[in-house]
Structure 1
Amino acid sequence: MVDVSQPAARPRVSARIGAIAPSATLAVDAKAKALKAAGRPVIGFGAGEPDFPTPPAIVEAAVRAAADPANHRYTPAAGLPALKEAIAAKTLRDSGYEVSPGSVLVTNGGKQAVYQAFATVLDPGDEVLLPTPYWTTYPEAIRLAGAVPVEVVAGADAGYLVSVEQLEAARTPRTKVLLFNSPSNPTGAVYSPEQTEQIGRWALEHGIWVITDEIYEHLVYDETVFTPIVKVVPELADTTIVLNGVAKTYAMTGWRVGWMIGPDDVIKAATNLQSHLTSNVANVSQRAAIEALTGDLSAVAQMRAAFDRRRRTMVSMLSQIDGVQIPVPQGAFYAYPSVTGVLGRTIRGVTPATSAELAALILEQVEVAVVPGEAFGPSGYLRLSYALGDDDLVEGVGRIVELLGEAR
């Protein structure tokens, strides 16, 4: 007889895409905004974006670009030649080494640069050393490339900075890439020039590629300096991909302009990938980015001064909480307190055992949204962005201080 039974139903979503975790930071921000829209007095510390408007000169350049018919058509997938030249000039100005415009690929925000960098150099089974805590997108992009993220954890006691010894202990014959992020999201940690050189020379010695995310390069405080890894170890240039963008420095998160800098063969391959994914970045945004990169940095200095003030306020207030340990962030615009000393204690009848449970309690009890450490690696931490207004910052952190002060 002919078997007329129905075949087993196939999954509607591929296993590869179905395994992706949503962005925890965007989820927290969306929830906070939804509650606020519903009339709740929620203060959100989740989103990693400046609260300032894009500087006027950049906006005006975009307005002019929108009126120019030349920007109404397709342009090269790798980016406008003028923007690639501006990125090369900016790299020399800010990072101290020369790159060719041909070694630059303009992407739809830094996040696309992250994905394409991993997709271009990784094969299934390759391993990526991932200093932890990490930005939530890194491991998902690594897995999408078929590779394996290998977490190398540095806690609050180490200032969230991994050592060469830790990296060496995690290295295997399958290790192909080291992800390097300084200044760091989520911790605000910044590697010193000496630490950066040590890690770079270790990677060079073992033939390990470096993907370095430098998007917070201009946001460093006190006497801290940003150290481009290719500057201190120039020999790494042939096995390093530099990721960057205008989002954080120029308050342009919504404009979606990032870039990759790397060896010509890698950039050519990534450009081929992008030609099928998205083609060119929006021309108006690219023209705005040219204005940002070729203009002065006075607006950047003003924003950095505000972030610095808020950083000091947030750290001072959080340090008052019994059981909280908070290394002073030296870069970016995040504080990353360890809350392990609070977990297991009872707060308003609830005893949170994880930072995810603590974050949920904070949102429920005092209507403040923070991102739990589980989004960035181990439990036991909270990430709070200080890229929001001073008054909201003081009010929101004050609510947390009061709530956690009840822990027994």
Structure 2
Amino acid sequence: MGPIRAEIAALELSGITRVAAGALGDPEVIPLWFGESDIVTPSFIRTAAQRALDEGRTFYNYPRGVLPLREALSRYHQRLYGLELHPDRITVPGSTMLSVVIALQCLASRGDEVILIGPYWPNVRQACIVQGAVHVDVRLLEGPQRWHLDLDAVRAAITPRTKAIYVNSPSNPTGWVMSGAEQLALLELCREHGLGLIADEVYHRNVLTGPDPAPSFLELAGEDEPVFVLNGFSKAWAMTGWRLGWMVHPKSLVTSMAVLAECNNTGAAIFAQYGGIAALEEGEGFVAEFTARCRRNADLVMERLGRHPRVRLLRPEGAFYAFPRIEGVTDSLALARRVLAEAKVGIAAGYTFGDGNESHVRLCFAISTERLDEALGRLIGVLDRLE
């Protein structure tokens, strides 16, 4: 390959895309593989973006995000958490995934180690590889009643090359929600070892068994600590295709973030940002309705799938995924492909979410209850036929 970096040449599709790629658009498939619902973005959000287009908001703007959106985000954090966040600490570079990339660019150089609290979304691992960083997996403990963090295992994974820890709560794929005490313990560990922290809180409004919103590291971290809190519009407001997210970063990085946003993406689409303002200011009713749907669907998954004799499933506390362990399964990719072929249901293979997940699969239960019920019936039919 000549000058092409070996890490880039060796990249492989995630276990989600490897299953989904050949069946996208098939009307017979019930798609539970991606992290989205079947709800179109609410009309009041679409209308705000359309209005911005009609007003001619189609030009370049400040790469960290238009000021009205960053001010709306400041008010949003005040409303949710009682926090006074200056708009200078908020950057809207594009998608939330881009925020992951930028946070890694800030913290990790080639050969540095980044601890990933797993199971985790596979694109985070890929982003580490692209950056040239070494990912070190530390898996949550499973059970008996919930997933939980083994802080001693995290501590044991820290070496002189460790630069940062990544954690996602509420968690994709497990549904684990960190308590405030767990967050403080992890933050104190980072402080003790001089580590950066990347806190992915994109499911902060998708809470199934506790108070809304989920606890945030923003309630604990100082304004100039090396803590990057990542968030976005995709999950709470059904805006997955808009590629619009935000990050709260150390106060000292205002200029650096403008440069990074400009280099990576030249900023988020301007008219989309006005849709984001509408979501923040008018979207509480939708958030409540969508969360109620996900709670009903979580109950359905526990009732139908959770009772299957081959399934071990902890009730998700947040997000909108089930991550069951299927007893006797050692090749999750093969199982996902079989479910697609035999049942026309799209699920994600567990191996792609990090070490120790080969017996798991992930399914998204954010779709309509009726379609979910049909999908579960088809999936259970395949599980009944496993040898």
TM-score, scaled relative to structure 2: 0.93
In structure 2, what is the Cα distance between the partners aligned to 1:387 and 1:315? 14
Matches within 5 A, 1:8-19: 10-11=1-2, 13-19=4-10
In structure 2, what is the Cα distance between the partners aligned to 1:98 and 1:243? 17
- Shift, 1:112, TM fit: 0.8
Identical amino acids, percent of aligned pairs: 31
- Shift, 1:157, TM fit: 2.8
The answer as to whether partners of 1:156 and 1:338 remain within 8 angstroms in 2 is no
Matches within 5 A, 1:300-379: 300-339=287-326, 341-343=327-329, 353-377=330-354, 378=356, 379=358
1:33 equivalent in alignment to 2:20: no
- Rg (Cα) greater in structure: 1
Structure 1 stretch 154-163 or stretch 73-82: which is displaced more?
154-163
Matches within 5 A, 1:63-212: 63-69=50-56, 71-157=57-143, 159-212=146-199
1:24 equivalent in alignment to 2:15: yes
TM-score, scaled relative to structure 1: 0.89
The answer as to whether partners of 2:203 and 2:235 remain within 8 angstroms in 1 is yes
Residues 1:235 and 1:67: Cα distance change in structure 2 (over 3 Å): closer
Q: Which runs of 5+ in 2 are unaligned?
A: none
The answer as to whether partners of 2:16 and 2:34 remain within 8 angstroms in 1 is yes
SS state of the match for residue 183, structure 1?
coil
* CA RMSD between the two structures: 1.9
In structure 2, what is the Cα distance between the partners aligned to 1:227 and 1:143? 29
Aligned residues: 383
The answer as to whether partners of 1:62 and 1:284 remain within 8 angstroms in 2 is yes
Q: Which has the higher contact order (CA 8 A, sep 6+)?
A: 2
In structure 2, what is the Cα distance between the partners aligned to 1:77 and 1:25? 31
Q: Which of 188, 205, 213 lines up with 1:218 in the alignment?
A: 205
In structure 1, what is the Cα distance between the partners aligned to 2:264 and 2:221? 32
Deviations 1:141-175 (A, max 9, x none): 11222211100012433633322111111111111
In structure 2, what is the Cα distance between the partners aligned to 1:80 and 1:139? 30
The answer as to whether partners of 2:169 and 2:204 remain within 8 angstroms in 1 is yes
The answer as to whether partners of 1:342 and 1:404 remain within 8 angstroms in 2 is no
Q: Which of 364, 370, 382 lines up with 1:385 in the alignment?
A: 364
- Shift, 1:26, TM fit: 4.0
1:248 equivalent in alignment to 2:239: no
The answer as to whether partners of 1:359 and 1:372 remain within 8 angstroms in 2 is yes
The answer as to whether partners of 1:121 and 1:266 remain within 8 angstroms in 2 is no
Deviations 1:337-358 (A, max 9, x none): 011x132xxxxxxxxx311122
The answer as to whether partners of 1:333 and 1:385 remain within 8 angstroms in 2 is yes
Matches within 5 A, 1:271-286: 271-286=258-273
- Shift, 1:14, TM fit: 4.0
